[in-house]
Chains A and B, each alone.
Chain A
Amino acid sequence: SQTIHQWPATLVQPVGSPLSLECTVEGTSNPNLYWYRQAAGRGLQLLFYSVGIGQISSEVPQNLSASRPQDRQFILSSKKLLLSDSGFYLCAWSGTDNEKLFFGSGTQLSVL
């Protein structure tokens, strides 16, 4: 069966520091991968999605970037964090048939 792993679960970072969140999917090949952000008490906002290695689409302009160095690995990064980058970050995947979307367990990022 397919599983998605996301880490770390929580992260506290100072303003101006770099960020790297990692997500990996097991049990499937060539998944579509997504990064979402969820502000406290709000819905989910799509940040990036990828349909293949090295292919990244950005949905909103921001201080973050994404990369997909391997088929089942998706990384969310920032060179310098802002206070406004705080939030709950979720990685998700879907098969190439786009039948269903599955989320990871999330990373709670606090920028202080």
Chain B
Amino acid sequence: GENVEQHPSTLSVQEGDSAVIKCTYSDSASNYFPWYKQELGKGPQLIIDIRSNVGEKKDQRIAVTLNKTAKHFSLHITETQPEDSAVYFCAASKGGFQKLVFGTGTRLLVSP
């Protein structure tokens, strides 16, 4: 089955810096890659997603890139702010959310 690896497990940056979180997946049939942000004690919030027919997607300070050949995708956050501090999860699916496999999460800390 699908396996998703996520790195780093923790990431500390200064406010205004960029942050990059990387994920690799094992199943070349996976075609949907969402990213979730989870604040302490809350449910994960979908922040951006990408499908395998595109290589990059941007939404304001957040972007996701996908390399299907290498089977990896990355989350890029520019001009980080303290409110970006949270745990971020990547995931991959090849069809239907019952097949969605999550990474183990990255704890991002943005210091003022």
A→B interface (CB under 8 Å): 6, 32, 34, 41-44, 46, 49, 57, 59, 90, 92, 94, 98, 100-106, 108
Contact = CB atoms under 8 A, between A and B. Distances in A.
Given A57-B98, A59-B98, A94-B97, A42 B42 contact: no
B41 interface: yes
A32 B44 contact: no
Given A104-B43, A108-B41, A98 B96 contact: yes
Judged by DSSP, the binding face of A is strand
Given A44-B89, A94-B97, A108-B41, A102 B102 contact: no
B104 A46 contact: no
Contact of A46 (B36, B41, B49, B100): B100
Contact of A102 (B42, B46, B105): B46
B89 A105 contact: no
Given A101-B46, A103-B43, A103-B45, A43 B104 contact: yes
14 contacts: A34-B97, A43-B89, A43-B103, A44-B89, A46-B100, A49-B97, A59-B98, A92-B43, A92-B97, A98-B96, A98-B97, A103-B36, A103-B45, A106-B42
What is the interface residue range for chain B against chain A?
10 to 19
A46 B100 CA distance: 9
B47 to A, nearest CB: 11
Given A34-B97, A103-B45, 8 more contacts: A43-B103, A44-B102, A46-B98, A49-B97, A90-B44, A98-B96, A98-B97, A108-B41
Given A43-B104, A100-B34, A101-B34, A106 B98 contact: no
A42 B9 CA distance: 11
Contacts of A100: 34, 46, 49
A101 B102 contact: no
A92 B46 CA distance: 11
